[in-house]
Chains A and B, each alone.
Chain A
């Protein structure tokens, strides 16, 4: 087993800053009031940090990720990676969706190569394709088409496809949301392993509080419509974490309470 050289990779990871970002979407019918998806969100991630964003659906978690990816532009505020402002999508910010979104017309190997082809560096980096396929344990599926893969396998291909570009920041939009409970726990370890090997800065959006506690250094809790950051909770548990330890469970009930409280407060505001 060839270990992936950690140093050049580690040096590529960068910090992420989101400053006072708001995002409006035009109303669906083209007239009327614009919908406010994100309201004055500020967030920063240190180099190599893994931060989770949790919150009810419709709180703008995905919008936040798409803004960071550069697929959307903010209505106000600014986003930057290291010292560079984010203006457009780039291979420096990998994005993995809940749906693996593998290109169905490409084999597993060609899917993983896609980023190298897109950047025109396949020739120099071809050796890495094998490394990444080994890393995610899909060597024997190199020539299979995506529809032959299970959900977990497809998501591993999607992770490898994003990581092969050695992104400064890896954005994960509920990447394990569609998997069954066992596969999901297995994949959480897998993602952690990749994170530890690559020391990438990671921002993970999830519905799953256990997942957030198990994986991240910090948990950002968002409230619903307009999306706002409610609270940031550090997770000071040693890794590897035990899902049934008393500290884990205490933190879990705290967050549940917070979310419930956030929900009740919102309901109170509305009435």
Chain B
């Protein structure tokens, strides 16, 4: 059973990217499992390089001195050293560091390079490309509004996603199970489904009583299509032998649908949920930019209107953290619901 138990250990799925700015870090090759001293020292070394750039390379950009950026780097350095010191004593920490150190180390260096080519060398034109210090400074100074925007985005996203998924599960199961529903539903789905939800914005604005409701509707529509499609295909691809077995065990239609077809379709349904989440992010940002006057999407375009690019990048960083956290939550839900798939397929 030990092999079975080991298989039940959660595997790393995606990396929650609560990283400092420097999205390039996402392209780093997955770290090698073996732990070497380089791995442990990646974060401290990275932080030292970035600090050296910050303090010793003369700057051309005039930034109001905030000290947030060197402070963050110093904290990274301190935590990196602390982690390396505690490394031998905590197996959990060991596993996490093996996974994360190279990525975080490279990310820190990338931020340093960013400062080098923006604030120090001014290779990129201002005000479009501020350095990390300016971005961090505007994040801190505008934190109340950014927090508020994030909250509004979260509420809008969850409402739209929930409505979309609820409707999609009903339509998907109906289309997947009943041949008549399949005939009519699939035709509709094939024609209407591929239209991007954002293309409905003009109509949504006319039809709905408020911008918020139209945004919820658009996000729901964006989620509805992939979830319906994959639910229907999952249901209609239920293995016939499972249905046969269930029938000979005395199953009625309700059992066949809810206890055979739906559990069997769940892997497919989750693919739909992930795709739907992606499209819902897109629709959320567009809807906030165009109609709803709140949320991170609105914040970005508002900051851009004032040419405050520090705020734009700050909001993008928050957005990245926000969206990937939600993605991680969905992965966790999937890991729980589809625990029976562990060892059957590679996630």
Contact = CB atoms under 8 A, between A and B. Distances in A.
Q: Do A and B come from one complex?
A: yes
Contacts of B162: none
A115 B344 contact: no
B241 A99 contact: yes
Contacts of A66: 244
A148 B8 CA distance: 11
Given A118-B250, A145-B340, A165-B250, A105 B266 contact: yes
A97 B242 CA distance: 11
A249 interface: no
Given A144-B4, A148-B4, A148-B343, A103 B247 contact: no
Given A103-B260, A105-B340, A148-B4, A118 B251 contact: yes
B250 A105 contact: no
Given A147-B343, A147-B344, A114 B246 contact: yes
Interface in B225-264: 239, 241-242, 244-252, 255, 259-260, 263-264
B247 A71 contact: yes
A233 B19 CA distance: 76
Interface residues of B, number: 25
A90 interface: yes
Contacts of B248: 69-71, 89-91, 93-95, 162, 171
A118 B245 contact: no
A180 B79 CA distance: 57
A162 B249 contact: yes
B249 A161 contact: yes
Contacts of A162: 248-249
A129 to B, nearest CB: 14
A147 B345 CA distance: 11
B241 A104 contact: no
Nearest to B256: A118
A89 B248 CA distance: 5
Contacts of A94: 248-249
Contact of A105 (B4, B245, B263, B343): B263
B305 to A, nearest CB: 51
Interface string B311-347: 0000000000000000000000000000111111000
A111 B4 CA distance: 19
Given A91-B250, A114-B249, A71 B244 contact: yes
Nearest to B248: A95
A183 interface: no
- Could you say which interface size class chain A belongs to? 20 to 34
Interface in A86-123: 89-91, 93-95, 97, 99, 101, 103-106, 114-115, 117-119
Interface in B153-170: none
Given A105-B340, A144-B4, A147-B343, A118 B249 contact: yes
Nearest to A158: B245
A106 to B, nearest CB: 8
Most buried by B among A90, A105, A144, A165: A105
Interface string A144-165: 1101100000000000011001
B246 A118 contact: yes
Contacts of A171: 248
Contacts of A148: 4, 343
A114 B244 CA distance: 13
Nearest to B247: A89
A186 to B, nearest CB: 21
A250 B246 CA distance: 41
Nearest to B343: A147
B264 A165 contact: no
B241 A101 contact: yes
B344 A104 contact: yes
Contacts of B266: 105
B246 A97 contact: no
B249 A103 contact: no
Nearest to B263: A105
A146 to B, nearest CB: 8
B271 to A, nearest CB: 16
A162 B250 CA distance: 10
Interface in A113-143: 114-115, 117-119
Q: 10 tightest CB-CB pairs across the interface, nearest first?
A: A91-B250, A89-B247, A115-B249, A118-B251, A95-B248, A105-B263, A119-B250, A145-B340, A105-B340, A118-B250
Given A118-B255, A145-B343, 5 more contacts: A70-B248, A89-B247, A89-B248, A101-B244, A101-B245
Interface of B: 4, 239, 241-242, 244-252, 255, 259-260, 263-264, 266, 339-344
Interface of A: 66, 69-71, 89-91, 93-95, 97, 99, 101, 103-106, 114-115, 117-119, 144-145, 147-148, 161-162, 165, 171
21 contacts: A66-B244, A69-B244, A71-B247, A71-B248, A89-B247, A90-B250, A94-B249, A95-B244, A97-B245, A99-B241, A101-B239, A104-B344, A105-B340, A115-B249, A118-B259, A119-B250, A145-B340, A147-B343, A148-B4, A162-B248, A171-B248
